[in-house]
Amino acid sequence: MRHFLTLLDLSPEELNWLIQRAIELKQLHKRGEVYEPLKNRVLGMVFEKSSTRTRVSFEAGMAQLGGHAIFLSPRDTQLGRGEPVEDSARVLSRMLDVVMIRTFDHEMIETFAAYSQVPVINALTDDFHPCQLLADMQTFAEHRGSIQGKTVAWIGDGNNMCHSYINAARQFDFHLNIAAPEGFDPAQFLLDENKDRVTLMRDPKEAVAGAHLVTTDVWASMGQEEEQEERARKFRDFQVSREMLDLAAEDVIFMHCLPAHRGEEISEDLLDDPRSVVWDEAENRLHAQKALLEFLLCQED
Ligand code: CP
Ligand code: NVA
């Protein structure tokens, strides 16, 4: 039994296989072929934070694979009324085949996984968002081929997405330039463990120079709403614009996990630029997570 709490839970070989499988499953789906290896299998989806893409991609993905998904909100489950995570994990995993969790503390999903009899998927914590990276790596592969040896620029907050980009740099073997304002660096242990692949900078222009992929995220993540104004001031010089992309490699592409705030972390017109691939990236959440579900649930097949 395997969990997917961070990108490090799969080997580089498994991750590369998964990306190729996601591309295949996408083609199969586009051809209208029915493929239902998860018939009678049920995914539980625990959401303690909002979601559009993650919820819809997991739910649609399970339906397309022949299975079923149950949306579990803390508002109407006992988890939200204080039932211990350990007990919830033991109970839910006796009824479900796989559980997906979006929550605040990363420790919560580690605890859940420790008490679960079925695979647990991290659908975003304060620390990591590995499912998004599967979609991002698939999107890069589709548009530009292998990301190995390329340069990626992360502009903005050293947040959960940035942390998953650091893990991706290690697993997919690319170089990551991070430009974050002082005080918003990614976790020091991740920088220390990945010194050979990650360079921390203060100047976004320097970070994007020669980059093959430029990416960013909101300045205030879910749970940081009250810091929004202060962050907007401190991140002012970190907006990604068309002019900034002009400093990158000739064939650069731009990604954003979405939702995006036009006029803040990206210029008003950036998503309309031909170098932006954000809609493909969003769609690929569906295909990449179908590949993940198949990997976690059909390993013996
Ligand atoms: N990118 C992403 O995870 O989007 P949602 O918050 O809409 O799920
Ligand atoms: N960093 C963002 C990502 C949203 C998909 C957040 O955690 O809110």
CA of 50, closest atom in ligand 1: 6
Ranges in the chain, pLDDT < 50: 301
Q: Please tell me the distance from the alpha carbon of residue 271 to that of residue 266, in angstroms, as a whole number.
A: 8
**CB contact at 8 A, 128 and 158:** no
Which of 217, 231, 256, 289 is flagged as catalytic? Answer: 217
Residue nearest to ligand 2 atom 1, measured at CA: 221
Query: Which ligand lies nearest to the CA atom of residue 256 in the structure?
Result: 1
Q: Is 52 close to ligand 1, i.e. is its CB under 6 Å away? A: yes
- Calculate how far, in angstroms, residue 252's C-alpha sits from the geometric centre of ligand 2: 23
The pTM assigned to this predicted structure is: 0.98
- By CB atoms closer than 10 A (0-12, 13-18, 19+), residue 226 is exposed
Q: What is the predicted pLDDT for the residue at 300?
A: 64
Q: Quick one: which H or E segment has residue 214?
A: strand 213-216
Q: Is 222 close to ligand 2, i.e. is its CB under 6 Å away? A: yes
Query: Which ligand lies nearest to the CA atom of residue 220 in the structure?
Result: 2
The amino acid present at 56, given as its one-letter code, is: V
21 annotated active-site: no
Q: What angle do CA 41, 133, 13 make, to 5 degrees?
A: 80
CA of 57, closest atom in ligand 1: 8
Domains along the chain?
A: 7-128+282-297 (3.40.50.1370), 131-278 (3.40.50.1370)
pLDDT tens track for 240-258: 999 999 999 999 999 999 9
The amino acid present at 16, given as its one-letter code, is: N
Token code pair at residue 30? 């586009």
pLDDT tens track for 34-47: 999 999 999 999 99
pLDDT tens track for 140-188: 999 999 999 999 999 999 999 999 999 999 999 999 999 999 999 999 9
Q: What is the predicted pLDDT for the residue at 231?
A: 98
